[in-house]
């Protein structure tokens, strides 16, 4: 299984290393980046990494990221020790969202975290939003495109997560995206 995004035991990095002169020198982050976190940064951006830092999960063992571009098949034994599952595909782009959440709930161990993100449609559109050229064009493209972004709000996602026995731990907005952390409570 090449490029598997599973982190068994996370190494703990010290920001400082001893130099020849017994002074502490700052190690650049490039040399100590975790390959799982690097894949998260490449696929979902630095804001996702900041959110994981905020949750204090970047050094957690048994962290697994579901790639948005690569597809892997896992059996139950691969996933039974996972403590945190990170979905790198924006929920707006998941075709069968309810089925996906149902599967996540079944495969995740009890008390495991499920983390993801989505574009929050705040609904702040005026009566004349039809005349706004970019919104009209985006709506037209989404109508004809089979990969349409679903319109999601915090309320809709919260309800979907709760219906699938994923208790919400945190929901945070960062630069136009909404990141969430939930816990499997089945």
Q: Which single residue is written with the structure tokens 């403590």?
A: 83
14 CB-side CA count, 13 A: 5
End-to-end CA gap in the chain: 30
| Residue-level pLDDT at 137 | 55
| Residue-level pLDDT at 87 | 93
| Residue-level pLDDT at 71 | 63
Number of H helices and number of E strands within the chain?
6, 8
CA dist., res. 101 & res. 10, Å (int): 27
Q: Mind spelling out the 3-state secondary structure of 95-117?
A: CCHHHHHHHHHHHCCCCCEEEEE
Domain 6-184 part of CATH 1.10.10: no
| Residue-level pLDDT at 143 | 53
Domain boundaries, the chain: 6-184
Q: Which single residue is written with the structure tokens 């037209």?
A: 140
| Residue-level pLDDT at 72 | 61
| Residue-level pLDDT at 168 | 95
| Residue-level pLDDT at 2 | 44
Give this prediction's pTM.
0.70
- Please tell me whether residue 167 adopts helix, strand or coil conformation: strand
CA dist., res. 63 & res. 158, Å (int): 23
Beta partners for residue 24, in sequence order: 18
Q: Walk along the chain (186 residues) and give the pLDDT tens digit of each residue.
A: 444 455 444 444 444 444 444 444 444 454 456 777 888 888 888 899 999 999 998 888 888 888 877 666 666 677 788 899 999 999 999 989 999 999 899 889 999 999 999 999 875 544 444 444 555 555 555 555 545 578 899 999 999 999 999 999 999 999 999 999 999 988
Asked if 83 contacts 59 with a C-beta cutoff of 8 angstroms, the reply is: no
């Amino acid at each position: 299984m090449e490029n598997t995004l599973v982190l068994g035991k996370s190494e703990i990095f010290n920001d400082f290393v001893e130099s020849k002169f017994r002074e502490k020198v700052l190690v650049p982050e490039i040399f100590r980046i975790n390959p799982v976190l690097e894949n998260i940064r490449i696929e979902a951006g630095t804001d996702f990494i900041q959110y994981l830092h905020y949750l204090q999960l970047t050094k957690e063992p048994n962290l697994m990221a579901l790639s948005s571009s690569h597809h892997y098949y896992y059996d139950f034994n691969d996933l039974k020790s996972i403590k945190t599952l990170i979905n790198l595909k924006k929920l707006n782009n998941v075709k069968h969202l309810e089925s996906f959440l149902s599967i996540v709930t079944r495969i995740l161990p009890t008390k495991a975290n499920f983390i993801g993100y989505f574009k929050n449609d705040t609904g702040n559109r005026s009566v004349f939003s039809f005349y706004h050229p970019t919104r009209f064009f985006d709506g037209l493209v989404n109508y004809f495109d089979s990969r349409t972004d679903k319109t999601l709000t915090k309320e809709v996602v919260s309800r979907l997560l709760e219906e699938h026995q994923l208790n919400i731990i945190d929901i945070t907005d960062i630069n136009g995206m909404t990141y969430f952390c939930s816990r499997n409570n089945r």
